[in-house]
Amino acid sequence: MTPAGSLLAAHDLHKTYGSTPALDGASFSVHPGEVVAVMGPSGSGKSTLLHCLAGIVTPDSGTVTYGGRELSAMSDAGRSALRRTDFGFVFQFGQLVPELTCVENVALPLRLNGVKRKEAEGTALEWMARLEVDDVAAKRPGEVSGGQGQRVAVARALVATPKVVFADEPTGALDSLNGERVMELLTESARTAGTAVVLVTHEARVAAYSDRDVVVRDGRCRDLEYAV
Amino acid sequence: MSIGHTLLGLLESGPRHGYDLKRTFDEKFGHDRPLHYGQVYATMSRLLKNGLVEVDGVESDGGPERKRYAITDAGITDVAAWLAQPEKPEPYLQSTLYTKVVLALLTGRDAADLLDAQRSEHLRLMRILTDRKRQGDLADQLICDHALFHLEADLRWLELTAARLGRLAEVVLP
Ligand SMILES: Nc1ncnc2c1ncn2[C@@H]1O[C@H](COP(=O)(O)OP(=O)(O)OP(=O)(O)O)[C@@H](O)[C@H]1O
Ligand SMILES: [Mg+2]
């Protein structure tokens, strides 16, 4: 039941918190290297969908399939490993480890995958240069601007060349100039590396950086690929 | 805005006289620009010629003859096609979009679908402009940005209207 050629697909997801239905039959898919924007009103279930897709939240029913494997059939350890090796994350704010320098933050996913410190930080610096923040490498997150911090977070999400980057309102806290620069760098880097991006945003100008968009309303989203 | 389609849509609820059409149009859509009688009769004779309406009856209680118009099946199809076809995104098309939304509600069609179709049409143009901006020089960027901000404002209006469809229906439905 997954659209042909999709890398990651969700089918008929339901998730209820207490008596609040957060997802009510949501279906979604993304192809390798594709940038898909997830839009919709506040509280419609966008973040919940993203968390289910990334295996952070388990849906009450429905399936999430990644590379032909069903996430719910995997062990917790298996899902964590998948998140480390295949997924990258960017959130609105508060995601960098405050005690580490920016370059250490960017290098973290590689370190967790067992890469030696020197090599990891070398690769991290390359990504920081690509995102134009190599000059803040030695600073701690508390000492850089919001826009710089967000680019550091994007570098961290991309450093381990994941197959999918999940971004939840990555530009939500930035002014439009900084927000657009972050989107430009994120989508360009992702396209160069062949990384798919699932981008939650309520801003149309941010969504315009995507290849395709999906609207979530009342916990449901119509992914046109399923409408065939 | 297409007066022809709007008048046709108003006929869907039942046959009406020209003056009745004008009055209803002015009341619902013509706040700042009421129709002239001449416009109504010119439009109706065009619709008649194209087979989208037919004359349902003629009255002349002493005075001049008054035709009563009824919509044909072809007319209904024409309204449906107009509502389903998204407008070319451009600034200041709110009055057309507003008319389409109200008419969809009045004729029992899915106004949310109409807004969604318009939304993706807007976003499609925004993608094209964003792409052009990415490849262009500073002048291109500024020109594209101007259009992008306007389209974004339209989109916000579409979202807001989608969220208020229930209340709008209460207001416009008889
Ligand atoms: N951990 C949770 N506990 C309880 N309710 C939750 C939780 N997470 C989400 N919800 C509820 O589920 C619904 C969907 O929330 P979600 O965060 O997915 O919305 P969203 O589309 O991301 O909204 P926003 O644009 O405001 O971020 C909301 O009604 C929310 O209150
Ligand atoms: Mg959210």
A88 membership: H or E segment, kind and range:
strand A87-90
Interatomic CA distance for residues A59 and A49, integer angstroms: 9
In chain A, domain spans: 8-86+162-222
Is residue B24 pLDDT above 70, yes or no?
A: yes
Residue that has been written with the tokens 């940005």 in this structure: B145
Strands (E), B65-157: 66-71
Distance CA B10, CA A121 (A): 68
Angstrom CA distances, A155 to A92, A98, A123, A128, A130, stand at 14, 16, 10, 6, 8
Q: Which of A41, A184, A204 sits opposite B123 (nearest CB)?
A: A204
Topology (CATH) of A8-86+162-222: Rossmann fold (3.40.50)
If you measure CA to CA, which chain A residue comes closest to B163?
A41
pTM passes above 0.90: no
Q: What confidence score (pLDDT) does residue B109 get?
A: 93
- What's the rounded Cα separation, in Å, for the pair B118 and A204? 13
Question: Which residues in chain B have Cβ-Cβ distances shorter than 8 Å to A41?
Answer: 159, 163
**pLDDT > 70 in chain B, percent:** 95
Cα angle, residue B138 at apex, residues B137 and B144 outer, rounded to 5°: 90
Check CB contact of A101 with chain B, cutoff 8 Å: no
- Rounded CA separation B65/A221 (Å): 54
| pLDDT band at residue A228 using 50, 70 and 90 as cut-offs | very low
**pLDDT tens readout for residues B85-123:** 988 877 666 678 899 999 999 999 999 989 989 998 999
Instruction: State the fold for domain B3-84.
Output: Arc Repressor Mutant, subunit A (1.10.10)
Cβ-Cβ contacts under 8 Å between A and B: the total is: 30
Q: How far is A198 from chain B (nearest CA, A)?
A: 16
CB B159 to CB A215 under 8 A? Answer: no
Instruction: Check: CB of residue B8 under 8 Å from CB of residue B75.
Output: yes
Is A205's CB within 8 Å of B149's CB? Answer: yes
Q: Between chains, do A205 and B129 touch, taking CB under 8 Å as contact? A: no
Ligand 1 nearest-atom number relative to CA A50: 18
Q: Is the CB of A201 under 6 A from ligand 1?
A: no
- Ligand nearest, relative to CA of residue A41: 1
Question: CA nearest A40 in B: which residue?
Answer: B159
List residues of chain B with CB under 8 Å from any CB of chain A.
116, 119-120, 122-123, 126-127, 129-130, 134, 148-149, 151-152, 155-156, 159, 163
Q: Are A30 and A198 in contact (CB under 8 A)?
A: yes
Tokens 């209460």 found at: B170
**pLDDT tens per residue, range A187-219:** 998 898 899 999 999 899 999 999 999 999 889
Specify whether the CB–CB gap between A54 and A87 falls below 8 A.
Answer: yes
Q: Give rounded-to-5 percent helix, strand, coil for chain B.
A: 65, 10, 25
